[in-house]
Amino acid sequence: MGDVSGKFLAPLREVYPLPKHAETNLENFFDVYVKLLRSFGDDVLDVAAQDMLANRTARSFPLPAECNAVFKHSVDRVRYGSHAKSEQGNRHEHLPFEQRYPEWEDWRIKTANELVCSEIGRQALREKWIVALHDFCRTQKRLPDKHELVNVRAKGISAQKDFEALVEKSPLNPLVGNLITLRKAMFARLGKAVEGAL
């Protein structure tokens, strides 16, 4: 987990003014950014901040969605380098999504969908850590063993508690509303798959 505040938000605050509503409660304002971007490492956070400062011309503080778009490019720069070429002579950021992010290939998602249709999946759905279980199955192409399961469950429950705390802190924030919609859709899709297997 990277230092979102120090590596990414601090350099942006030096250049872009905060909106007036943010100044009344900085912690809540920046909490949305931290929750969305904390999975990125310091190297990606640093590259994203440099990219934003070098290329963004708007004067306002960037929205989380705009930051997310920059991070997709920054991940490629950290992974492949600024000028690295693929075998076909194209820059890596122009490769198909599946080649840049093999962990998101359709067959991996399908495999994870099938793996969570199990007793473990039903437990994860009831306890609201199904997304963490699905992520494990997608990346590892198998269900977790009994030792890994403890960590996956703890990580998923922690993420759910963080999410619920964010919703409670900022229920009227439109960005939080978008997160709620996205999370509900993820749970509904996985829940439908798991319950359909009963």
Model pLDDT for residues 40-92, shown as the tens digit of each residue:
888 889 888 988 888 888 888 998 888 877 887 788 777 766 544 444 444 45
Q: Residue 6 to residues 41, 45, 133, 138, 197: CA-CA distances in angstroms?
A: 12, 9, 31, 31, 45
Enter the pTM of the model: 0.50
Residue with tokens 């409670």: 168
Residue with tokens 């990606």: 44
Q: How far is residue 80's CA from residue 42's CA, in Å, rounded to a whole number? A: 16
Q: How far is residue 109's CA from residue 121's CA, in Å, rounded to a whole number? A: 15
Contact between 15 and 54 under an 8 Å Cβ cutoff? The reply is: no
Q: How far is residue 187's CA from residue 198's CA, in Å, rounded to a whole number? A: 17
pLDDT tens digits for range 132-166? 999 999 989 999 999 999 999 999 999 888 888 88
